[in-house]
Structure 1
Amino acid sequence: MSALVSPRRALMRGALTVATAAATLLVTALPEAASAHGSAADPPARAYDCLQRWSNNHQAPEMASQDPMCYQAWKADPSAMWNWNGLYREGVKGDHRAAIPDGQLCSAGRTQTGRYAALDAVGQWKATPKGRNFSVNIFDQAKHGADYVRVYITRQGFDPTKQQLGWGDLELVSQIGSTPAAKWQPADNGLSLSIDVDAGTRTGRHIVYTIWQASHMDQSYYFCSDVDFRAAA
């Protein structure tokens, strides 16, 4: 299982930054983040990944050249990163395709009044190197557990740096059924769950798309994680 970077520490760093760097918008976003939900932590979902890299320096001008996709996301709505654990929809009833249009998969259909819309932007998102066999690790800050988790990967030939993601671009590669919180592993201020994945013969840049159906209510989480399959493993 891959090492899990502590989301709790990310929130602490973010809170300190907000306290000193001002931005009324960020301050108003913190209470929802503190209420706690979860995210894909490895490979990291886009909002979580941007928070990990830039929470202490999110106003740095060099982000524009070093990490342009995170830059446009921070500029569009900083609360998307502070609320990295709130990318969900309620009442979907399992009909994910009907709830989320093509081109809006990474924002969960512009959920939360469009807060995460910038995550749908096409471009050079930083990609996590992975081998053919890897694990998707979900961090559950609220200890919801899962009715199921489904992991998809884009088809070979899809170019996430140039193409908008649609349901037809994805292939289901792994899934697990009901997994109550008691079966998850303890993590820093929460729980973690690891889902084994075989990427097959895929190479190069891809998007790993994870749907986590929480157990406490009809609450569905959606995560776009950017990866680069550089070597078989």
Structure 2
Amino acid sequence: MSSHTHARMSFAARLAAIGSAVLLLLAGLFTGTASAHGSVIDPGSRNYGCHDRWGTDHLNPEMATEDPMCWQAWQDNPNAMWNWNGLYRENVGGNHQAAIPDGQLCSGGQTEGGRYNSMDAVGDWKATDIANDFSVHLYDQASHGADYFQVYVTEQGFDPTSQSLGWGDLELVEETGSYAPATDITFDVSAPGRTGRHIVYTIWQASHMDQSYYICSDVNFTG
């Protein structure tokens, strides 16, 4: 075999290896999306909001000044936004407060190997303007339904721009019954007495197995 032929074969082998590595990387990036379920899209969860606003432009340096909390999240782990529908834990058995430590509520207790840790970052996340009577809209691409939803809202006086979220900062304002499998589930919530910035914390207990989703949505109660 000539040296040129050997060189061409070696180059082709290297290209094939690189191609395989890229395919494996892409598969790893998107594995969670196909097998995951959904999230609250209104008022949007932190990672859904970052994906919605920057998913097609996530390398734009202007994000650092226009949307700094999303910027830190994209820098920490872009897969947290590509897999905005995969923030869950399994086999919690309904004992959510034992499973999720204070300061880690928005990451589901640093679930999925820490993929969503940036969701716990304290700062001025983009907030959705809502009234005290509002609706929660879950988008569930896998249509697994729900055993229940629990919706908490931070107490008046809590400042999500400067305080880490703990269970003691929350009031349970809504607990639903079960929902049949559906792509879109919407239900009404009332959180009287709130004004200004707050966090709406939604626990979605999926019905197909013991799989619990933990969702932080930043809101501004307009009164």
CA distance in 2, matches of 1:153, 1:73: 23
Partner of residue 39, structure 2:
39
Structure-1 separation of matches of 2:173 and 2:137: 15
Partners in 1 of 2:148 and 2:195 — Cα distance?
27
Q: Any idea what SS the aligned residue of 1:201 has?
A: coil
**More displaced, 60-69 or 35-44?**
35-44
Find the counterpart in structure 2 of residue 161 from structure 1: 161
Name the larger-Rg structure.
2
Post-superposition CA distance 1:75-102 (Å, at most 9, x none): 0000000000100000000000110000
The corresponding residue for 1:50 is 50
Q: What letter matches 1:44 in structure 2?
A: G
For these two proteins, the number of residue pairs brought into alignment is 202
Give the SS at the match of 2:168: helix
Superposed counterparts of 1:1-233, under 5 Å: 28-181=28-181, 184=182, 191-231=183-223
Kindly state the Cα deviation for residue 36 of structure 1 after the two structures are TM-superposed. 3.5
Distance apart, 1:25 and its partner CA: 5.8
Kept in 2: contact 1:175–1:195 (CA 8 A)? no
2-side partners of 1:26 and 1:76: how far apart?
18
**Aligned CA-pair RMSD:** 1.5
Q: CA deviation at 1:205?
A: 0.1
Task: Tell me the amino acid that sits aligned with residue 172 of structure 1.
Answer: L
CA contact (8 A) 1:26 1:79 kept: no
CA drift at 1:140: 1.1
DSSP-derived class of the 1:106 partner: helix
Q: Distance in 1 between matches of 2:71 and 2:82?
A: 14
CA contact (8 A) 1:102 1:166 kept: yes
Pick closer, same or farther for the CA change 1:160–1:25 going to 2, 3 Å.
farther
Question: Runs (4+) of structure 1 moved beyond 6 Å?
Answer: none
Change (3 A) 1:58 1:202: same
Q: Distance in 2 between matches of 1:195 and 1:167?
A: 23
User: Normalising by structure 2, what TM-score?
Assistant: 0.87
2:107 is paired with a residue of what secondary structure?
Answer: coil
Report the Cα distance in structure 2 between the residues aligned to 1:179 and 1:77, rounded to whole angstroms. 32
Unaligned segments of structure 1, at least 5 residues: 1-21, 185-190
Structure 2: unaligned runs, 5 residues or longer: 1-21
Between the aligned partners of 2:51 and 2:27, the Cα distance in structure 1 is 15
